[in-house]
Amino acid sequence: MQFGAAGFHSLYFLRGETRPHVHVTGEHGEVQFWLAPRIQLAHSVRLGDRQVRLAEALIRAHEQAILREWHEHFGS
């Protein structure tokens, strides 16, 4: 995935939510998106609108792979 090339540092999952989601960190903040039942912004901290839109576009482009990794990671 091109997250690093887009200026993002990491993409990760956190336990605690049963609903599939992903966190993406950038230089100045973080954004979280729900993956199901559809991709939807959960929250953003200190990222501008452009970075949020870019993160969403990358998540949409790789949705199936991210969901597959989420299910493998949590065994669901």
The single residue listed with the structure tokens 């690093």 is 4
**pLDDT at res. 68:** 93
- Check pLDDT > 70 for residue 5: no
Domain ranges (residues) in the chain? 8-74
- Check pLDDT > 80 for residue 2: no
Higher pLDDT, 64 or 3: 64
Dist CA 50 CA 73 (whole Å)? 29
**pLDDT at res. 67:** 93
Q: Which three-class secondary structure state does DSSP give residue 14?
A: coil
